[in-house]
Amino acid sequence: MSSTMRPVPGSRAGGPFLIYWLPVVIYCAIIFVQSSLPSPDLPGHFPHADKLWHTAGYAILGLLFCRALGHTTAMGRHRRWIYWAAVLAAFLYGVSDEAHQCLVAARQGDWRDAMADLAGSLIGAWFYLAVQGWRPFGGKRPKDGRTTNGNTG
């Protein structure tokens, strides 16, 4: 994988598009199915332990959205746009999941879960881009106006 993220054009059978978006769709489906079931007993016997599970789960979703957006959209070179679009997409899915839980017997939606989803989305998208070499808060500007991490904006 190259250190610069560029859009990958789709091929005949969906090729690269499916490679990047199918994991997002599958993971969202797993979240949906899990949210349709009665609330599981999660490990961690301390107050609000479920928030850690939400954060971890949505970190994965934020990472997957970031990966897909970075490789299949025109945002490929604009990592800040990729970051915020991935965070927004994962967070909105989390909000819709909490709304969905309000309609499921033995479940309830919780705004604190949505905030944990947001935190996870922020972490997961940041982690993916950091592994790709993105440094949002560092890097000096050389004479050509670009940051040392390749960002242009």
**Where do the structural domains in the chain lie, given as residue ranges?**
15-34+50-131
Say yes or no to pLDDT of 99 above 60. yes
CA distance 146 to 153: 8
Q: Which of 6-20, 65-79, 85-99 has the lowest mean pLDDT?
A: 6-20
pLDDT given for residue 86 in this prediction: 96
CB 81 within 8 A of CB 152: no
pLDDT given for residue 47 in this prediction: 73
- Our separate counts of H helices and E strands in the chain read 4, 0
| DSSP secondary structure, 47-89, as one string | TTHHHHHHHHHHHHHHHHHHHHHHHHSGGGG-HHHHHHHHHHH
pLDDT given for residue 141 in this prediction: 46
pLDDT band at 49 (very low <50, low <70, confident <90, very high): confident
pLDDT given for residue 148 in this prediction: 52
Contacts for 77 with CB less than 8 Å, ≥ 6 apart: 4, 5, 6, 152
pTM: 0.77
Higher pLDDT, 109 or 99: 99
Q: Work out the angle at residue 105's Cα, subtended by the Cα atoms of residues 100 and 106, and round it to the nearest 5 degrees.
A: 105
Say yes or no to pLDDT of 40 above 50. yes
CA distance 29 to 117: 16
Say yes or no to pLDDT of 107 above 60. yes
Say yes or no to pLDDT of 35 above 50. yes
